[in-house]
Amino acid sequence: MRKKLIGLVFTVCLMCSACTAKNQSEQPQSSDLNQAKQLEIQTVQETENDSQSYWGTVAHNFAKGEGGYYYMDNGDSYLMFFDEETQESYPLCALPNCQHNTTDCNAYVGTQKGTGYLMQTVYYYKDSLYLLNSEGFLVRFSPDGAQREKIVQVYQYGQGDTGTNLVFHNDYVYVYNMNQHLGMEEEYAETITRYSLDGKEQAVVAQYTGASCAIMQAKCYGNQLFFIISDVQKQNVNDKVVLNQAYKGLYVYRTDTMEAGRVLEQEVTGYCIDENTNKLFYFVKEKGLYSYDINTKEQKLLIEADEKNQMPEISFDGQYIYMDNSAWASISKRMGKEVEKQCFVIDTNGNMIQQISGEKTQRIYFGDGNYLFAQTVIQKISGGNSEYSYINKSLPGEWEWKAME
């Protein structure tokens, strides 16, 4: 199963402690985002329970674990582990004499046993691996792949399953679907639903009602879950109807007070936060990349939008900001324009560090401060083959993709 590139709906992250205004076990009331009030961005405190917010939100094919990274192989059949020291990949199986080529292998996650797993929903949280199976259940795996535990059903199979996304925080998972109703003229309620990781609690914490809309790009920083709301607007271009995304702003759900609101009214298409300096970086459609100092309230335009960059997906690895223009290149092509696919790497002052060619990339998944991951093309043929590749960020000079072996 594959995710659509258009849209991404964001999950909500909840964190409560004894000194917070509400108790963690209290059932939250659903916040109506159509009536969202204006809120200020609060100081961000990094916590050990936060999700890995450096990954992309369109597809979550990789997750960082102890000593390396988890992912499913390109055949969707085996769970793999990429060792960050040796740069070698191997099936997540410790069975003696296992050849890792049958359904008896501990790493097998294919469909021959009746239930498969979604390759674009691989997550790691508190020493456990989490995947979604094709029946809609959240499944917890032990780090070695030997143990599996179904926790709770979080989506209905066949109803937008390929757009289901997760955010983990404070022993809860927040679930949303980024593209279930995009392009539909009827009004639907898009929701963020919180599930406890023991499977005992479930509650809708936020919702937005509209036609062809989505909650997308949710990332949890401290006790604040940020996300974007978008919808689709029709345009006539060269006698063709083209669907373009419109953005309604950047929103936040505060997990300690359980209140939600909008923090930026501009057409924010992507964002990230430097938790060490408390700076928000966000891209406004057709305007550019801005920085916002959460402490001093100072706002600054870092990079102006141009024909290559109108609505990039954004990631921050603790040092550099990454802006992938793949979505904009695809939209431009549908509008009869050719835009080179690139991932721009800049520092927090707006200085260009690297320009990574997107000629061979089908999708960039981003990564932490050590590695960058992507799906790259092997042969440029119709329906051509692809493979996972990585960039070792510690290497000097121009970065190049290397196939995972």
Spatial distance between the Cα atoms of 216 and 203, rounded to a whole number of angstroms: 19
Residues 149 and 81 in one domain: yes
- Picking from 247, 265, 283, the residue at the C-terminal end of a domain is 265
Tokens 């990789």, residue located: 62
CATH number at residue 61: 2.120.10
Residues 79 and 206 in one domain: yes
Interval 190-206: pLDDT, tens: 999 999 999 999 999 99
Residues 261 and 277 in one domain: no
Residues 54 and 162 in one domain: yes
Residues 64 and 193 in one domain: yes
Residues 178 and 238 in one domain: yes
Residues 281 and 177 in one domain: no
Interval 85-103: pLDDT, tens: 999 999 999 999 999 999 9
Query: With bands split at pLDDT 50, 70 and 90, how would you rate the model's confidence at 49?
Result: low
Query: With bands split at pLDDT 50, 70 and 90, how would you rate the model's confidence at 1?
Result: very low
Residues 167 and 98 in one domain: yes
CATH number at residue 319: 2.120.10.30
Residues 231 and 286 in one domain: no
DSSP letter string over 302-325? EEE-BTTBSS-EEEE-SS-EEEE-
First to last CA, the chain: 23
Token pair in block for residue 65: 């674990």
Residues 246 and 338 in one domain: no
Which pLDDT does position 10 carry in this prediction? Answer: 31
- Picking from 265, 286, 320, the residue at the C-terminal end of a domain is 265
For the segment 30-53, the average pLDDT, to the nearest whole number, is 83
User: Has residue 348 got a pLDDT over 90?
Assistant: yes
- Of how many residues is the chain composed? 405
Cβ burial, residue 35 (10 Å; 0-12/13-18/19+): exposed
Query: With bands split at pLDDT 50, 70 and 90, how would you rate the model's confidence at 38?
Result: very high
Residues 212 and 163 in one domain: yes
Q: How many CA atoms lie within 13 A of 204 on its CB side?
A: 11
For the segment 231-244, the average pLDDT, to the nearest whole number, is 71
User: Has residue 51 got a pLDDT over 60?
Assistant: yes
Residues 257 and 131 in one domain: yes
Give me the chain's average pLDDT, please. 86
User: Has residue 397 got a pLDDT over 70?
Assistant: yes
- Picking from 204, 239, 265, the residue at the C-terminal end of a domain is 265
Distances (CA, A) of 31 to 204, 214, 257, 376: 8, 15, 12, 40
Number of domain units in the chain: 2
Report the Cα 335 to chain-centroid distance in Å.
Answer: 26
Neighbours of 285 (CB within 10 A): 18
Q: Residue 87 is which amino acid?
A: Q
Token pair in block for residue 249: 């702003």
> 291: domain range?
272-405
Helices (H) and strands (E) in the chain, counts: 1, 30
Query: With bands split at pLDDT 50, 70 and 90, how would you rate the model's confidence at 157?
Result: low
Check residue 171 and give left, alpha or beta (phi > 0: left; psi -120 to 50: alpha): left
Tokens 């402490």, residue located: 295
